[in-house]
Amino acid sequence: MDLKTIIGAARGDLPVDLLLTGARIVNVFSGRINRGSIAIKDGYIVGIGNDYQAGETLDLEGRYVAPGFIDAHVHIESAMTSVTEFAHAVAPCGTTTVVADPHEIANVLGTAGIDYMLRSADGQPMDCLFALPSCVPATDMETAGARLTATDLEPFFDHPRVVALAEMMNYPGVIHTDPEVMAKLTLARNRHRAMDGHAPGVSGSHLAAYAAAGIASDHECTRAEEALEKLELGIHIMVREGTCARNLDALFPVIDTHTWPRMMWCTDDRHPHDILTEGHVDAIIRKAVDKGLDPVTAIRMGTINPADYFGIRDAGAIAPGRKANLVVFSNLTGIRAETVFFMGRPVAENGRLRSSIPRPATVAVPPSMHLDPVHLDFSIPAAGSRIRVIRVIADQVVTGCEIMEPTLQDGLAISDTGRDLIKLAVVDRHTGKAGMGKGFVTGLGLRRGAIASSVAHDSHNIIVAGVSDAEMKAAVSAVVEMGGGLSVVDGSRALADLPLPVAGLMSDQPLDTVRRQMEAIIAAAGTLGAELADPFMALGFLALPVIPELKLTDRGLVDVTRFEIVPLFV
């Protein structure tokens, strides 16, 4: 921004580049919708009104104009495609800013992963801002590809795209003042950055301690009572609508005239199919309005609220000095972007990116698969008459813990499809040592075969569930051969796969190609009996040891409530 030019154009002394006339302008400050014109110079809004000389005038013919939408918390890696393909998919939905947490790729590649994401964000038709990953690894109960200290993170705070410290998943470390956690919080505080939270189910004095540390947001609320308790302690609530975790229905009763200014929308983890069929932040806004929320309030929660929270002073509103990031639409109660402007330039029309929008050059990424599956042993010797079993809960990242009798054969605990008791394993892919945690899961529904994935939050080792050891080994081998990805195996036959060569997390193909591959692999898993809408999203979260109740890492079963590794046999 050349400030003198912007001020001169705002005064009317210089002609503006573009004047949008005939607009119904959603004012996120007053909550009103005003008729008028929007004057744009060098990508910035300089004035509201008709008293500007313009090089180009565009009549919007009474359509609504809102600020571009902001996703308050997203892992781009969960879209399973590159930053470029992600941006080219969500910009047509009206998303012009995301605050991305590169936590997933950082767990695989460390600072090289953060560098990759920052460099990939250049030249996109939207603003990709970042919150620095605070927990790499998420816990000491798993093997990650890197360990990032406060010293490792400090240089990144100087980057203009970095606006926050990302979700502090190690809430026990905050509550009990772990020195390394304290160093990261102090670093963010000294740099005047927001500190995002992640505290599922934390309440009472522990929540007070978490808030006292300066943690200012949470996106893990699954109950209205939980969200209200956090709000009343000063914590902003990010209402999540992802692929696996959808919390708007549960949290909707909390949104009212008093609370909405401290609430915002986020997608967190959203797979390609949901982005391309439902949309992005716009889909959350539509759902909220359908449930009875005032449309302007829904827009404010997706624009000015996250902008204010993160200190983004040049976006989130239609006002002088803000970027001309705009969404044009005709129906206030069923908002669908018809034209999307980024920095005063139309980048999308009627749900499609304009063909004139360039694709930035591809950024190189190091290899990430360090595993030879030849000698993997998935057998589980019997060591008791009862076992802990992970129970999948549909549409949630939380899981249950069941105590069940194992099915035994020749002294080994095996899968039992009649009881929906399926063997589960997580294999270290980072160190070359192939350490393995083994357990069982119920709720996946597999009746034969195996499914495997290198997307296994948060350390992204290879997770596999299968009816037989041979099929589990075949599925893991397929993932390794692809350099990362998803695999479905039935007997000795590979039914489908989805290669993810970028850190074992992202494809180098367009999002629509990834969606077709994803649909094929989900359908293939369905032929094995998997009943979940997205069994791979559910599978990936079974390795996340910071979300209750029972999870599995390469080190073993984790009781998240107790925050410790527990034996399989009780």
29 plus 89 within the same structural domain: no
Distance between start and end Cα atoms, the chain: 63
118 plus 13 within the same structural domain: no
Which class for 433: exposed (0-12), middle (13-18), buried (19 or more C-beta within 10 A)? Answer: exposed
List, in order, residues 6 or more apart from 215 with CB less than 8 Å away: 168, 174, 185, 195, 196, 197, 199, 235
- Give the model's pLDDT for residue 259: 98
Q: Does residue 351 fall inside a structural domain?
A: no
List, in order, residues 6 or more apart from 433 with CB less than 8 Å away: none
Q: Does residue 503 fall inside a structural domain?
A: yes
Q: Are 473 and 370 in contact (CB under 8 A)?
A: no
Q: What are phi and psi of 281, to 5 degrees?
A: -60, -35
CB atoms inside a 10 Å sphere around CB 523: 13
292 plus 397 within the same structural domain: no
Distances (CA, A) of 140 to 144, 204, 209, 562: 9, 25, 22, 14
53 plus 72 within the same structural domain: no
Calculate the CA 545 to chain-centre distance: 17
Q: What are phi and psi of 6, to 5 degrees?
A: -65, -45
41 plus 93 within the same structural domain: no
55 plus 72 within the same structural domain: no
153 plus 291 within the same structural domain: yes
73 plus 26 within the same structural domain: no
DSSP state of 325: -
- Give the model's pLDDT for residue 133: 98
Closest listed residue to residue 392, CA positions, set 413, 421, 426? 421
Point out the domain boundary residue: 300, 319, 342. 300
- Alpha helices in 154-216, H assignment, sequence order: 171-175, 179-190, 204-212
Point out the domain boundary residue: 42, 62, 82. 62
- Give the model's pLDDT for residue 139: 85
- Give the model's pLDDT for residue 427: 98
Q: Does residue 306 fall inside a structural domain?
A: no
- Give the model's pLDDT for residue 142: 95
Total domains present in the chain: 3
**What's the rounded Cα separation, in Å, for the pair 444 and 421?**
9
55 plus 73 within the same structural domain: no
Q: Does residue 506 fall inside a structural domain?
A: yes
Point out the domain boundary residue: 251, 285, 300. 300
Q: What are phi and psi of 77, to 5 degrees?
A: -55, -30
Which amino acid makes up residue 117? M
Q: Does residue 246 fall inside a structural domain?
A: yes
Q: Does residue 313 fall inside a structural domain?
A: no
14 plus 73 within the same structural domain: no
556 plus 435 within the same structural domain: yes
Q: Does residue 315 fall inside a structural domain?
A: no
42 plus 74 within the same structural domain: no
Show the domain range for 19: 3-62
Return the structure tokens found at 433: 């040592």
pLDDT values of the chain reduced to their tens digit, one per residue, 570 residues: 899 999 999 999 999 999 999 999 999 999 999 999 999 999 999 999 888 999 999 999 999 999 999 999 999 999 999 999 999 999 999 999 999 999 999 999 999 999 999 999 999 999 999 999 999 998 889 999 999 999 999 999 999 999 999 999 999 899 999 999 999 999 999 999 999 999 999 999 999 999 999 999 999 999 999 999 999 999 999 999 998 789 999 999 999 999 999 999 999 999 888 999 999 999 999 999 999 999 999 999 999 999 999 999 999 999 999 999 999 999 999 999 999 999 999 999 999 999 999 999 999 999 999 999 999 999 999 999 999 999 999 878 889 999 999 999 999 999 999 999 999 999 999 999 999 999 999 999 999 999 999 999 989 999 999 999 999 999 999 999 999 999 999 998 999 999 999 999 999 999 999 999 999 999 999 999 998 988 998 999 999 998 899 999 999 999 998 989 999 999
Q: Does residue 360 fall inside a structural domain?
A: no
